[in-house]
Chains A and B, each alone.
Chain A
Amino acid sequence: MVKNEKIDLKEFYEIRKEVLQTWPTGLKVSLDEAFRYHRTIPEERRFALVMKKAKEKRLTLLQPRAGVALIEDHIKLLRYLETEGQADLLPTTIDAYTRQNRYEEAEKGIEKSKQAGTSLLNGFPAVNHGVDGCRRVVESVSKPLQVRHGTPDARLLAEITLAAGFTSFEGGGISYNIPYAKRVPVEKSIRDWQYVDRLVGLYEENGIRINREPFGPLTGTLVPPCISIAIGIIEGLLALKQGVRSITLGYGQGGNIIQDVAAVTALRELAEEYFHQEGYDDFELTTVFHQWMGGFPEDEAKAFSVIALGAIVAKFSGAEKVIVKSPHEAMGIPTREANAQGLRATRQAINMVEDQVIFKPEDLDEEVMLIKAEVRSLLNKVYEVGAGDVAAGTVAAFEAGFLDVPFAPSVYNHGKIIPMRDNEGFIRIFNKGNLPLPDEIMAYHYQKLQERARAEGRAISFEMVTDDIYAISKGKLVGRPK
C-alpha cells in the first residue's frame, strides 16, 4: 500500500533509470546539467518567485493555456500571447497522446502536422521534442513557463521539461488521474506523482525552487467546492512530503459569486491550517482561479461575458493567478488571436475591480464555514481510513466512495454523487453517494434544492443536472425548465 513517505533517493534513482528509458529523448536528461542551467535563469522567469511576489503585492496574474505540435509554431504562439495578450505567465499545454504516454502517436501527429501545415495535435508533445527542443521554447520567451497537461504518469514529462528549464509543473496523483484517465489505479498515479514531487524536491535541495500546482477544477462540471478543496489539500500534503516548497492550489469557477469567493477563501485558510498541522512551516502557498471550465456559449460575445465574470470573481477571491479562457472555447482549441482576446478581456475586467472591496469577510462567513465543515468531514475520513496516512487514506477513500468526483471518466471513482444548482446558482449536493457528510449539512443542501424545485414547479430530478450542465452555454447560470 502506498504511504505518504519521502521516496528514498536510492529507490528514486532506480525508478528513474527505468523512466528515462521509456522514450529515446529520456536518455538525454542530466540532472547536474539541469541544475547548472536553472541557476542561469533570470529571476523574472522563475515561476515560484513571480508567484511569491504576486502574493506580496496582492496581484492577480494572467495565464492562458496554449500548445501546438511544432516547436517554431509553439514559440510564435507563446510570443504572441506575451506581446498581444500581455500574459504574465506562460503555459505549454501538452497534447493528449503525450498525456497517455502514447509517444509513437505523438510522433505521427508531429509528422502529420508538418505535412498539413497546421497543428493536428491539441498541444505540445514535449517528450518527443526532448530537452533541446523544449529549451528552445524556454529561451524564446521572457515570462515564467509552466507545463500544463493532464497526465496520470508524468514522470518522463517532468524529467524532460524541468531539465529544459520549465519552472512550474501542473498536476497531481488524484487531479491528473480521476478526471483524465479511465483505468489507472489511484495507488499507481499517487506513486507516480510522488516521483514527480520527489524530483521537484531534488531540485529544491539543489537550491532551485520549482512551483507545483495541483489541478483544482477536476472535471469542471458542477464540482462541489468541498471535493475540489479536499483533493487540493491532499495533493499539497503529498507534495510537501517529497520536498516541494512552492505550491499553488486551484479552484474552478462554479458560477455563484459568493460561493466562488468563499471557496477560494476556505481553500487558502484550510490549506494553511492542514500544512502547519502536518509540521510544515517553510512553504509558499498561493492560489489560482480557473475561469469557467464547463461548456461555453458558441457566440463569442457571450463567451467574453463568461470570461469577464471569471476575471472579476478571480480578483475578488484574492487568487494570485487566473487561468484565462478564450472566446473560441465552445469550438475547442483557440487561435492565437482568440487566446489573446481572452487575456485582454480578462485584464480589462480585473483592472476595473482591483481597487474595489465588495465583500467584507462577514458577508462570506456562512458559506466559508459550511465549506470548511464539509472539507473537514472528508479529510477526517481520509485520515481515518488511512490510519493517519493521507496517501493510503486517499486510495481507501476512493475505493469506498468517501472521495467521489462527479462526471469523472475513471473506473476507480464511484461517480455516485449528484450535484446540482440551488435557486441562486450555488452548487449543492442532492445525492451524496458515500461522501461522509454529516446529516445536518445534507439537510441544508436539500433545503436549498427544495427552494429551487418549488420556484420551478418541478420535483428535484436528474433533469435539473443536465439542464445545469448546459445552462451557461445556453445563456444562463441555472438550468430552468423551458
Chain B
Amino acid sequence: MTDAIEKNHNTAKAENLEKPTIILGVIGADCHSVGNKILELFFTSEGFKVVNLGVMVSQQEFINAAIETNARAILVSSLYGHGEIDCQGFRDLCLEKGLDRIILYAGGNLVVGKTPFEVVEKKFKQMGFDRVFPPDVDLKKVAELLRQDIRERFSQEAGDSGAADSTVRTRN
C-alpha cells in the first residue's frame, strides 16, 4: 500500500485534473473483496489514478491516504450491512483533518436489511456523503458524475489552497 501511495504522490500533482486521484476501499470490518477489485480495474480504465486500500479500511486510513496523495474523492464501499455504523462522522473527520473539499461517495448494501434506496440515500447524505449508490448502479454513470463533481469543485481553485494545488493552474 505504501508503495502505491508513494508512487502516486509523485505523479499526483502534475496530473491532478487530467488524471484525478481517487481513494477506493471497503470500510470497517467488511472483507467483501470482489467488487473492490472490479472497481479498481474499472476506474483505472476510466482514466482515474486509483489508490485502492482494499478491504477493512478505517475512516482514518481513508483520510490519511487522501491527504498523502492529494486525492479529489474518497469512494467508500460497504456490502455487509454495518455501513451505517462505520460511516458515522466520516465527513466531520475529513473536515477536522483539513480535507474541506474532498468528494465523498458511498455505495453498496449500506444498511442491514432490505430498505428503500431513497431512505438509505437520505441517511448517508445527511452524514455528509455527496452521492450514494445502490449495488447495481451503472459504473459508467458513476465515473461521469465523479468527473463532473471533480470539475465543479476543484476547477476554480487555482492556487487558493495549499502548495499541492499550485501546479494545476494550467487547466483553468
Binding site for B on A (CB under 8 A): 95-97, 99-100, 102, 105, 108-109, 112, 118-122, 150, 179-182, 219, 221, 294, 298, 328, 330-335, 338, 407-409, 462, 466, 469, 473
Contact = CB atoms under 8 A, between A and B. Distances in A.
A150 B80 CA distance: 12
Contacts of A109: 82, 85
A76 to B, nearest CB: 15
Contacts of A462: 41
14 contacts: A96-B28, A96-B80, A96-B82, A105-B85, A180-B31, A219-B34, A328-B113, A332-B109, A332-B111, A332-B113, A335-B113, A409-B31, A462-B41, A466-B41
Given A118-B113, A466-B38, A96 B30 contact: yes
A99 B113 contact: no
Contacts of A122: 80-82, 112
B98 to A, nearest CB: 27
A423 to B, nearest CB: 23
Nearest to B113: A333
Interface of B: 28-34, 36-38, 41, 54-56, 79-82, 84-85, 109, 111-115, 135-136
Contacts, number: 92
Given A118-B113, A335-B113, A469-B38, A408 B81 contact: no
A118 B112 contact: yes
Contacts of A120: 82, 84-85, 112
Contacts of B113: 118-119, 328, 331-335
Contacts of B37: 407
Contacts of A328: 113-114
B114 A332 contact: yes
Most chain A CB atoms below 10 A, which of B36, B38, B54, B85:
B85
Nearest to A473: B136
Given A331-B109, A473-B136, A409 B55 contact: yes
Q: Is the interface of B mostly helix, strand, loop or mixed?
A: loop
Contacts of A97: 29, 82
B60 to A, nearest CB: 14
6 closest A-B pairs by CB = A409-B33, A332-B109, A122-B81, A409-B55, A96-B29, A331-B114
A402 B112 CA distance: 37
A102 B29 contact: yes
B29 A333 contact: no
A333 B112 contact: yes
Contacts of A332: 79-81, 109, 111-114
B40 to A, nearest CB: 11
B151 to A, nearest CB: 27
B112 A119 contact: yes
A330 B33 contact: no
Contact of A409 (B56, B85, B111): B56
A108 B34 contact: no
A249 B37 CA distance: 28
Nearest to A474: B136
Given A120-B84, A331-B109, A407-B34, 18 more contacts: A96-B31, A96-B80, A97-B82, A105-B85, A118-B113, A121-B81, A122-B80, A122-B82, A122-B112, A181-B31, A182-B55, A219-B33, A330-B136, A332-B109, A332-B113, A332-B114, A407-B33, A409-B36
A87 to B, nearest CB: 19
Contacts of B54: 182, 409
A121 B82 contact: yes
B74 to A, nearest CB: 18
Nearest to A152: B31
B22 to A, nearest CB: 19
A330 B135 CA distance: 8
A108 B85 CA distance: 9
A469 B32 CA distance: 14
Contacts of A121: 81-82, 112
Nearest to A101: B29
B56 A333 contact: no
B109 to A, nearest CB: 4
Contacts of A182: 31, 54-56
A333 B85 CA distance: 15
A331 B81 CA distance: 9
A330 B36 CA distance: 16
A408 B34 CA distance: 7
Most chain A CB atoms below 10 A, which of B84, B114, B135:
B114
Contact of B31 (A112, A179, A221, A335): A179
Contacts of B80: 96, 122, 332
A465 to B, nearest CB: 9
A81 to B, nearest CB: 16
B31 A150 contact: yes
B114 A338 contact: yes
Given A122-B81, A407-B37, A466-B41, A334 B114 contact: yes
B50 to A, nearest CB: 15
B114 A112 contact: no
B79 to A, nearest CB: 7
